[in-house]
Amino acid sequence: MGAVEVIPGVSSGTVAFITGIYEELLNTIKSVDIEALKLLGAFRFADFWKKINGNFITVLLAGILTSLFSIAKLMTWLMNAYPIQVWSFFFGLILISSPIIMREIKKWHGGIILAFVFGIAAGYIITILSPTQTPDALWFIFIAGVIAISAMISPGISGAFILLLLGKYEYMITALTNLEIIVILVFAAGCVVGIISFSRVLSWILSNYRYPTIALLGGFMLGSLNKAWPWKEVISFRIDHSGKQVPAIDKSVLPWDFLEKTGNDPLIIQAIVMMALGVFIVVLIEKIAERLKTNN
């Protein structure tokens, strides 16, 4: 989750769904409430730890932080050095994940189909939006944190990509690089408010409208495939936090059009192999998860 969250276009919520921890993640976040704070205030640490599912969240956060400070750098390098192969891998991951999670839907009806179609449309529209100019005021940094973290826990919507659309991706990367403590703390506060509130909304919707919600999330994931499409034509550029010119807006093209427009080899065979690898890994993870559940 930490590795993919620094890449605009890939959702860590999708990774949580793929690995089968999504609902436990939502329920764990939701458990941080007034009752939990009272247990902590009464120094009932064991009860507080059990209430917030402490073992789960500690291990998950440790993995995310470890990845952010190690694997994420590798992922960024791979994205720059082997973009077609990496995006093909993500494309395969997302492509197979959507039908896998929607297998839970046993009976389809009009409302579920509508949710699925709406999810595809919304996911696609988000991927083609252009970045906007926004203020650098602390109040907006807080709002950006709320919105980005809400997207992060939603399968199919990348928190980093939402920050890019809000015009705050490079700004926050620079703040982290330069250790601008006030900006980081305000953004983190927005993240805390966003994840605690939005996780409750998602959890309630999943509990009360499970099948339409799964169809909606599955649609989001399919719609977001446009962002993970390996072959892109760059429409405009932007300057990143290090002063380098990087793509700002691009559009998906067919492999043979990619060759014609960019003059670069579309690496079709390698792309297909990496897509297949992505599909294989998701299927393998699902089989392992099913076996673990059976053994337990």
The two structure tokens encoding residue 135: 């203020």
Rounded-to-integer distance, Cα 211 and Cα 234, Å: 38
Residue 243 confidence (pLDDT): 65
How far is the C-alpha of 229 from the C-alpha of 84, rounded, in Å? 9
The region of weakest confidence among 92-106, 119-133, 228-242 is: 228-242
Q: Which secondary structure element, helix H or strand E, spans residue 20, and what is its range? A: none
pLDDT (0 to 100) of residue 248? 61
Contacts of 74 (CB under 8 A, 6+ apart): 3
Rounded distance between C-alpha atoms, residue 193 and residue 16, angstroms: 20
pLDDT at position 126 is: 79
Closest residue by Cα to residue 26 from 16, 36, 15, 39: 16
Nearest Cα residue to 61 out of 214, 192, 226, 194 = 192
Half-sphere exposure of 164 (CA within 13 A, CB side): 25
pLDDT band at 217 (very low <50, low <70, confident <90, very high): confident
Q: Are the C-beta atoms of 32 and 54 separated by less than 8 Å?
A: no
Percent of the chain clearing pLDDT 70 (strictly above): 84
pLDDT average, residue stretch 267-273: 95
Predicted confidence (pLDDT) at residue 202 exceeds the cutoff of 70: yes
Compute the average pLDDT of residues 83-105.
85
Query: Looking at the predicted structure, is the pLDDT value of residue 218 above 60?
Result: yes
Name the residue type at position 182. I
> Counting every residue, how long is the chain?
296
- What is the pLDDT, as a whole number, of residue 30? 83
pLDDT > 90 fraction of the chain, expressed in percent and rounded: 14
Residue 282 has pLDDT above 90, yes or no: no
CA dihedral 220, 153, 195, 21 (to 10 degrees): 130
Strand partners, 233: 251
CA 97 to chain centre: 13
**Mean pLDDT for the stretch of residues 246-255:** 77
pLDDT at 8: 56
Rounded to the nearest integer, the mean pLDDT of the chain is 81
- Above 60 in pLDDT, residue 9? no
| pLDDT surpassing 80 at residue 187 | yes
Are 278 and 91 contacting, i.e. CB atoms less than 8 angstroms apart? yes
Among 8-17, 131-140, 266-275, name the one with the lowest average pLDDT: 8-17
Which of 15-29, 40-54, 241-255, 263-277 is the least confident region? 241-255
What letters, b where the CB count within 10 A reaches 16 and e where it falls short, cover 98-118? bebbbeebeeeeeebeebbeb
Domain extents in the chain: 2-295
Q: Which residue has the higher pLDDT, 244 or 66?
A: 66
Q: Which residue reads 């408010």 in tokens?
A: 193
